[in-house]
Amino acid sequence: MNSPLTHFDASGRAHMVDVGAKDESHRVARAAGLIRMLPATFELVAQGRAAKGDVLGVARIAAIQGAKRTAELIPLCHPLPLTRVTVDFELDAAACCVRCEAQVETRGRTGVEMEALAAVQIGLLTVYDMLKAADRGMVIDGVRVLEKRGGKSGDWQAP
């Protein structure tokens, strides 16, 4: 079986990819997504009046923790020594949404796209958790990798 899906062996069974022979390099990934909410819920965040406290401050810490714990959540991910995780939130009043962007870096043998995606998802899930009493209909949307740098496959940027 000759497949571009590296998480399967020649017999089609799932396995953790052997990265031992790969060269170490500086690897960076950026991911983003958003959570849409009702205007009144958005105002709770914008004015810092959410009942559970500092929504974006807690979500930022959760997102960083999510990046650090990715290998525990996604079975075939390698545990990586992350060297940097940044998480930024942007309020968009016109769209009644909060955008989240994470950048994750390491010096290693495999990329950090999954860690960046996990950071965004966990950050947005935390926003949901902290605001769900006000708005159970919030929607997490558009989570994707924006960019990756480093490694044998080279640099990539979302169109």
What is residue 55's DSSP assignment? Answer: H
| Ligand-binding site membership of 97 (annotated) | no
CA distance 109 to 130: 36
| Ligand-binding site membership of 115 (annotated) | yes
Among the options 23, 54, 92, 129, which is catalytic? Answer: 129
| Ligand-binding site membership of 77 (annotated) | yes
What angle, 0 to 180 degrees and rounded to 10, lies between the N-to-C axes of helices 113-131 and 55-68? 150
| Ligand-binding site membership of 1 (annotated) | no
Told to judge if 88 belongs to the known catalytic residues of this protein, a careful annotator would answer no
Element (H, E) at 68: helix 55-68
- Which residues does 82 contact at the CB level (< 8 Å), separation at least 6? 67, 68, 104, 105, 106, 112, 115
In terms of Cα–Cα distance, which of 32, 54, 67 is closest to 157? 32
Annotated binding-site residues for substrate read: 76-78, 114-115
Catalytically annotated residues: 129
Binding-site positions read: 76-78, 114-115
